Every structure is written in C-alpha cells, then in structure tokens.
Structure 1
C-alpha cells in the first residue's frame, strides 16, 4: 500500500522544503519538492519532522519502567508515542541486583516486540554524593561480574549503562560494558576532570543529563562538564524542560557540542501525562507540583514530566535553533547513539516512516510509526 503526504513543509537534514513524500510498506520511498504527482493526502502546509528518539525515559501515564510491569510500560510508551516519540529507551533506577534483573527480563519481552529500543541502567553504580532521586542505601561500587549478570537477563536488549567513573571498579566495568556492546554514559558523578577523562578513555561516549547530578563548572577545577563537552567522542544529554537547566546553559552546551553531539531527552517519570500528586520512582516517593517532580524527602529533582514534543518546541523557542537543528538533536543524534541512524532519526528515502506532523505553533497534530498513523 502506498501513501503520499502532500502540501507539507518537510524537515530533512538538508533543510526545510515545501513538497511531498511517499510511503510504501512502512518506509519512505520518495521525497519531492513542489506539487505531489497524483492524488496525495494534503497536510495543509504543516511541518513534518522525524519521529523523536528518547534515550532516557523512566515512564509515563502512571507506568514506571523500573517496576518491570509490562502493561503499565505499554501505557508509558503509548503516552510518549502520542507526543511524537516513536523510539523509546526504557530507563531503570537503582535497585538490588534481583530487582534489576527481574525488571530487565520483563522489559526484554517488550524489546523483543519492538515496543522499546532497549534498556538503560541508570544506577546502581553512581555517586552517593550525586545520587539525586536514587535510593542511597542501594548504591554500590561497580562490579563487572554483576553487570554481566544483568546484561544476560536482558537477552541482548541492555543498551546503556550510566556510571560514575570515580568509583572503585568503574573503569573495569566500563570496559566490560563496551565489550558487551553496551553504550556507557557518565553521570550521577562526583568525578574530577581527570577522572572523567579516564572514564571516556575506558569507553564512555555519553553524558547523562549534562549539568545535573555532577559538579558544576569551575575555572580551576573544571570537573566533568568541561571534559564531557570538549571530547568529540561524547554525546551530551540535555533535559530541556525549563527546570533542570537554564536556557543559557542549554545554549552554551549546544555551542560547545553542536547538533551532532547533543541529544534531547525527557528523563520522564511515571507522572508524565498525569496531574500533580504523589508517585513512585523505583523505591522513592516523588511529589509532583505544577508539573515539577521532586523527592518527598529532601526535595531533589526526580526526573521530569517532560515529553519530547515540548523539548523540541523549546529547542526552537528557548535555544534559538532552526527546525533542522532541533530535529537533529531530538531525533538523529540520539538515533546515532543507539546505532540506528541508518533506520530512523531523519526523513530520508529508505528509512522507516517514523514521523511527526506539527502545526505552525509546533504542536503535534499527527504521529506515524513505520507507515501507520498512531494519531
């Protein structure tokens, strides 16, 4: 079956042009400028951008990936899909090895079905001094052997590990993860500039929510932020919700890393898409007030209630990016992190027809995944 979308402003890596695209068997087969040949489905001049790719997401719609509950995980994925996220990584939080293995095994079933793009361990190998919304009593030093057990539970679907490079055993665990084809991110860390470089040299290639849960920039003690921004091998995650990071610092990170090394994430938790109230993130109680999630005890920021469409819109309105640049950091760069840029992340002939239709105010009107309309 063939479908042509016409009268569209198509956002591609080469720029934005008015034209049309054709989809067959779930893939983009043609992209053209001007009037579509034959009868097309008119989008009335709306923008078409690639489906968003979220590599750091803990849940939504009341579902929390750390629980491993498959039905609620499906609810979370559906919520984010309605907001344009066509590829979601399920992020866990710190827990016992038994809890993490059980959740991983359960979520691996959803990865088998293509519902999620993989599993991300945010913890338990993180700094107590920078643990944020993680249960400090369950933190522990990195163990290559324990991590290998968790990878085995994931049946090939463990895709990312967040770790603090300064902890005993961290560098060996990073090397083990890389050998297991797991992406390593540095975050929730109290590392120095030099210790961060050691982690990168061991194989880390991502910065978990840059700025948050790490020492801040200092002119004599630059810390991890400087090391992560200046290394061309590292992609930096940014939570663009107006709470986690000031817009000026978002712009600064973007200028340092560029579109090719900047990935928007949500860090969303189960309350996303719901109202204010009390929720759980792993074993930690979280209060959401005015859309901002904080721990009941201590008040630390506890993930977000952000969706990727809002992050995209803020990239244009607050960071001053073009639609082309915003699409790169919301879709193509995170797709590269996952090694999936040949399949998703941009609108190009041969790629999967994962796309989002936006009106003039950059609000989602329609979402398509693999050639099928979701909304």
Structure 2
C-alpha cells in the first residue's frame, strides 16, 4: 500500500478555499481536513507541501478535438497521447476524445486509435468519446464540413457503438432534422448523453427534444438559433429546464463575459460546464491548420475559416477557469463547473471532487491559475519545472 499526504493547501471544492490537507492511499482520497489540524501521528509514505497554493479537483473536458499540432481525427495513438499530456499540463485529468463530422470510415479509424489508447494514457485519462456530428443541421453547421453532414441513421450508429464498445459517452446532434428524435431515444436507451447543437431548433422543437431525452447543450449559444424576443429558440428552452446542462467556451471570443454571467445566473454551477472545444492549435500559437476538412487560420489565438466563421478554440481548461472567475463567477462555483458538474453529467461519481473515496485526481494552481502540478489517481503526471 502506498500513501501520500498533501499539506498546507487551500482546498477549493464546492466552497470558497479552505486551509487543509488531503490523505491519499492507493490512488484514492482517504481523508480530507478543512480548517482543522491534521491529527497528531498521521503518517504517509510521501509528504507533499502545497506551499499554501490552491488545490482543486482534476478538471474534466467533455469537448476537446486536439492539441499541440495533433488532431484526434488523425487516427493515431500519438495524437491521443499528445492530447493526454497537454490536458495534464493544463490541469485537466479526464477528457472526452471528440470527433468532428466525417465519413464513417474516418470516424471508425478515430475510434480504433482512442480504444487502443485507453489504459496507456501518459497524462489525463480518457473518460470516453464525444461524437460531435455528423447528424447536424447544415443551416447551423459552423465549421462542421457540409459534405459530411447527414440525417441520423440508427444502423450507422449501431456500427459506431459496436466499434467503440462502452466508450461513447456523448453524442451531439440537431434534434429537429429527420430522424433526430428517434436517435435521441436510441441514445437514451443506451445511457449515452444526447446533446444538442449545430441546430436550428425552435423553442417548441427544443422542448420536444428535452422530453425525448436531450439533457445537454453543446457549446451553448454557438451553432444554434439565436435568442429573439418572438422566437426564443433552444437556448431559452434550455434555461427553463433544470435537468438540461449547458457547455460554455469561456475564451472571451465565443461568449461575451455578460453572456457567461447570464448563463451562470440561469443554470448555476450545477448546470454549466466549462469546456475548451480546442483544436490542434492549442499550445501551438498562431498559424494555419487543417481541421475538419478545412483550412483554419489562427490569429491572436482566434481560430477561423476563410469566411470568418469561428472554428473551435485554443483556450485551455486552466485559462477557461481563470476567465470565468474574471467574468465575475465566484471561484468555488467556477471550479465546480470545471470539475464536479462535468463528472456528474458523465456519471462519474469518483471524479471531480475532493472527498473520501474519490479518485486522487488533483491539481495545484498558483495565484494566476497556472498549473504547478497535476495528479491522476495519486500519481503526478505533470509538474512545472523551475
């Protein structure tokens, strides 16, 4: 049995930071002390001094396409492993490998590479896959490649699920297109999160989708009918449904800070999930990239197609956390939105929290939200040098 004790940290997990310590044994949290001394005689094999820094649960990104020059649609082990390392470096300990609309053959190749990577990740762990498209509405396609968009096909989805086993955790589709509601029911029956986006659904169509089983909105406000006072659309419909959670790309590009605050007021920390929606430019800087069958230009960190359409993001999870706080969201709630809420959306009760029995997925941050170290199941998978 191996044990570690992390002392002298400020623990932020659903509450404002509290001075405390954490005891870990065999990769799981055994005890947590907040605003109380560690009992005399408490020993561990290893002692870690947190230096008074902020300790949060490992963040969970339910929507990431790539990082550092690698796209998970490449269909290679290397690409998945690079994303795993970069996630760990940015405070993310679990992620959903996310696809874009493509041919079935390319999607199956991605599934095969992700499947081979499970259990051998060098950093953040693969919590499953998020299939974004191809069952999307061309009117709200955003950067999704129109030539790959098609109507929901249960035979095709059956092939996808057979190839992926239990890896598929979330599927994003447009519920209003032919076959959409039937596909939602199909996914719900298999305990897969049915998410909506790249959709022109009206308020009424969105409400019907929620009744059929949609429980999540992908990159809320982006790739969907905008709010109008006589045509409220999907966003307002989602705000009215307590069981529907929403993703937020908090990068100061996809959402104005006032909209971030609006989402927070409407959904609260238990209904709002911070994501990156990052493409392979994350961690690479400005340049030209190939993503989803398009040439994407990144200038000053903003990724766009030639016509100016936003094409994913370059934000990291620790940056999204910092920007959420700077937008006016209390630190404790922003942390929840990056940790516990995505864990709950995915049905992962041992993730996203600092509590006895939870996995020891932990991140130590400095005052500027830079990652000092990242721990996955009790093992440090990243530590900043210097």
TM-score by length of 1: 0.96
* 1:274 counterpart = 2:274: no
The question of whether the paired residues in 1 share the 8 Å contact of 2:10 and 2:17 is answered with: yes
* 1:135 counterpart = 2:145: yes
Offset, 1:299: 2.0
**323, 345, 354: which one pairs with 1:337?**
345
Task: Note the alpha carbon deviations across 1:272-329, whole angstroms, 9 max, x for none.
Answer: 000211112121211111111111x3221111011100011111111x2222111110
Deviates more, 1:61-70 or 1:120-129: 61-70
Question: Which residue of structure 2 aligns with residue 312 of structure 1?
Answer: 321
**Aligned partners of 1:169, 1:67: CA distance in 2, in Å?**
29
Task: Describe the SS at the equivalent of 2:51.
Answer: coil
After the TM superposition, which parts of structure 1 deviate over 6 Å for at least 4 consecutive aligned residues?
A: none
**327, 332, 344: which one pairs with 1:324?**
332
The question of whether the paired residues in 2 share the 8 Å contact of 1:22 and 1:31 is answered with: yes
Task: Note the alpha carbon deviations across 1:20-54, whole angstroms, 9 max, x for none.
Answer: 11111111111113443457422111010010000
Trace 1:180-199 onto structure 2 (pairs within 5 A). Answer: 180-199=190-209
Task: Describe the SS at the equivalent of 2:143.
Answer: coil
Question: Which residue of structure 2 aligns with residue 19 of structure 1?
Answer: 20
Offset, 1:14: 4.5
Gaps of 5+ in 1: none
The question of whether the paired residues in 1 share the 8 Å contact of 2:11 and 2:18 is answered with: yes
Task: Note the alpha carbon deviations across 1:161-216, whole angstroms, 9 max, x for none.
Answer: 10001100101111111122211100000111111111111111100100001111
Offset, 1:103: 1.4
**363, 368, 378: which one pairs with 1:361?**
368
Task: Describe the SS at the equivalent of 1:198.
Answer: helix
The question of whether the paired residues in 2 share the 8 Å contact of 1:23 and 1:353 is answered with: yes
Gaps of 5+ in 2: none
Task: Describe the SS at the equivalent of 1:75.
Answer: helix
Task: Describe the SS at the equivalent of 1:177.
Answer: helix
The question of whether the paired residues in 2 share the 8 Å contact of 1:21 and 1:28 is answered with: yes
The question of whether the paired residues in 2 share the 8 Å contact of 1:7 and 1:35 is answered with: no
Task: Describe the SS at the equivalent of 2:95.
Answer: strand
TM-score by length of 2: 0.93
**187, 198, 203: which one pairs with 2:213?**
203
**Aligned partners of 1:292, 1:359: CA distance in 2, in Å?**
26
**Aligned partners of 2:204, 2:165: CA distance in 1, in Å?**
34
Trace 1:208-357 onto structure 2 (pairs within 5 A). Answer: 208-295=218-305, 297-318=306-327, 320-340=328-348, 342-357=349-364
Task: Note the alpha carbon deviations across 1:62-115, whole angstroms, 9 max, x for none.
Answer: 111122211111101111111100001010000111211221122122235463
Question: Which residue of structure 1 aligns with residue 66 of structure 2?
Answer: 59
**Aligned partners of 1:304, 1:347: CA distance in 2, in Å?**
29
Trace 1:165-184 onto structure 2 (pairs within 5 A). Answer: 165-184=175-194
**167, 173, 195: which one pairs with 1:157?**
167
Question: Which residue of structure 2 aligns with residue 109 of structure 1?
Answer: 116
**Aligned partners of 1:144, 1:227: CA distance in 2, in Å?**
26
Task: Describe the SS at the equivalent of 1:19.
Answer: strand
The question of whether the paired residues in 1 share the 8 Å contact of 2:261 and 2:329 is answered with: no
